[in-house]
Structure 1
């Protein structure tokens, strides 16, 4: 039976793609990429860096709008899942490319759950998460000994409270919230250490080693690492 693969291409550098990811992309019949309104799909661009003749494959965009409108999101996820099921019914293996890892804040999960729950065969192929690549780019560890690690979607409510948890805080999906985050962190007594990498491993990468340097207008692809000062 044909299968759906949710495949993580990693954070940006094509050399960080796994051997399994490259093999499956080369072997599968259809490569699905999320269409979000951006002119260039980032996951596709990363994969093409590892597989130069990727454009010879059957590449299909699935509409995945960047919105929080629940009805629009449900409609797009339903439609994408139905299309994937049709391909599988035709005996075609499908790879759905996703930035970073498919299990971490990935649009793919909504399609995966629908296809899996309908009785089709599915498999998740992990990729290197962005925050691991960011920590490596900063030449530092994320945690040591008994330290806890918290992964926080910074563009949602509750971020300020989360910043007071013990351990290392990773702020993802920061986007337009960066300015607000800087202001709040600077208001804390004995504020924590904050570093950020924008577009890690991609063209236009920028590294910020303290909170005052951080550009409030940095792109969506920005990850902040917040640690208590020792």
Structure 2
């Protein structure tokens, strides 16, 4: 007996719009398969997560390509065809073993859904059933409060990828319409609506039913802000007077965003979303320059030594209605802007403030050499600009006595040249001279370098502000292949 294949529609995004049958199947399946982009996030899985159970086998189906170019000999379609052949083989292995497989799909599986490509390859081989879901079209109409069709009216569903002249012609000859696949096609869609004389009737709906939903007249939408998960709606011509969605009051906010140690590949999807939706970006110029310029956004750069002033400036903008993203390298909560903003925010109780984490410099450097932070460790800054050296020295000595791996931020600068040698000498009072030390510089950047030395041979002249140091504990080991790790098991256990 083979397993059964289920194509399960999840609806438009709100987990409460999953059908009872879909929820039951998700919870009982042996295998849960879902599509995901290369950034590692699956919208389908996030919708279904509350209905999944521990111990289920997960099969993430990572697209090899989305909108970028490919060197595949068969081009874009060839790359996708090979991808679905591979996915079908993976799912076949489970089905042949008698496992039931649920393939998750946003909206309805047979409505512009990725599931259908698997269905065509597997449905003739295995018992298969499709569970419909609420479509984005139905969700958008419901959120707008606008009927789609009445009596003898005709509803036309169109992909925004059609040429503008074809779109315009179709729009002239229908009563109501839903246009999907916006994103990069938005400008063409808007031009087609204008040519058809329907632009003023069109509504824009983004991420319907989710906490990131946006609705507004389509004519007022900035094309640079339009994601793929959006659509245009032309509601019933016979509908009641326009039910304009209630305008949200102008309310600002501040989100402190961790950029990670280097480029976009280190940025989390959540952080990228916050940067994309902000009206104002605030930050140290060097970090702000890492965020691509968006003409609709205002950018406010400043020097690296004015954290408090920068925080107040951002909060003032938010108090006046701006959506402000304060950028910070690495993680904003580690010797960075989150603390400054939270402290200043005590004087702005009406301004919502949130913090989005980023990959820390310590974790980035550690990843390059193995697992030096595999056991207990502490994080210290050698900068005595905001705390006295006596405090730094005391904490270093105590960390060394406690046999903790030590991650050292801000080890040196043009004005601070002696602290590295002093820290080395303090650590040597409790550590062997052969203790591994990792010097990471500009990890993820164009000038990245990783050096491993012994503590006794640490040369302060080789360390500057672009560096982060990882000082091993008594159990940290350097392997013959140049990797460093700290065992999770301590010798006394």
- TM-score of the superposition, structure 1-length normalised? 0.90
Seen in structure 2, the aligned counterparts of structure 1 residues 24 and 190 have a Cα distance that, compared at 3 Å, is closer
Contact 1:192 1:226 in 2 (8 A): no
Q: Give the SS at the match of 1:80.
A: helix
Q: Which secondary structure does the structure 1 equivalent of 2:156 belong to?
A: strand
1:23-102 matched pairs, under 5 angstroms: 23-48=24-49, 50-51=50-51, 54=53, 56-64=55-63, 65-66=65-66, 69-102=76-109
Q: Is 1:130 the counterpart of 2:131 in the alignment?
A: no
| Cα displacement (A) at 1:112 | 0.8
* Cα deviations by residue, 1:169-219 (Å, 9 ceiling, x for unpaired): 1001111111232234234447551011101112321111x2332231211
Q: What aligned pairs does 1:79-228 form with structure 2 within 5 A after superposition?
A: 79-117=86-124, 119-157=125-163, 158-189=166-197, 191=199, 193-208=201-216, 210-216=217-223, 217-227=225-235
Structure 1 stretch displaced more, 81-90 or 55-64: 55-64
- Structure 2 length as normaliser, TM-score? 0.44
Give 5+ residue unaligned stretches, structure 2.
68-74, 239-493
Aligned in 2, Cα 1:54/1:165: closer, same or farther, shift over 3 Å? farther
Distance verdict in 2 for CA 1:71–1:144, change over 3 Å = same
Decide whether the 8 Å contact of 1:192 with 1:228 is kept in 2: no
Which SS does the other structure have where 1:225 is aligned?
Answer: strand
Return the alpha-carbon distance in structure 1 between the equivalents of residues 119 and 236 of structure 2. 37
Gaps of 5+ in 1: none
C-alpha separation between the residues in 2 aligned to 1:56 and 1:35?
20
Deviation for aligned residue 1:25: 0.6
The structure with the largest alpha-carbon Rg is: 2
CA distance in 2, matches of 1:55, 1:215: 42
Q: Could you tell me how far apart the structure 2 residues matched to 1:75 and 1:146 are?
A: 44
Cα distance in 2 for residues equivalent to 1:211 and 1:26 = 39
Counterpart Cα distance in 2 of 1:5 and 1:13: 21
- Contact kept in structure 2, 1:192 and 1:229, CA below 8 Å: no
Number of aligned residue pairs: give it. Answer: 226
Offset at residue 86 of structure 1 (A): 1.0
Distance 2:196 2:5 in 1: 47
- For residues 83-117 of structure 1, the C-alpha deviation after alignment (integer angstroms, 9 at most, x for no partner) is 11111000100000010000101111011110013
Residue 165 of structure 1, CA deviation: 2.1
Calculate the aligned-residue CA RMSD, in Å.
2.0
Higher relative contact order (CA 8 A, sep 6+): 1
The secondary structure found in structure 1 opposite 2:33 is strand
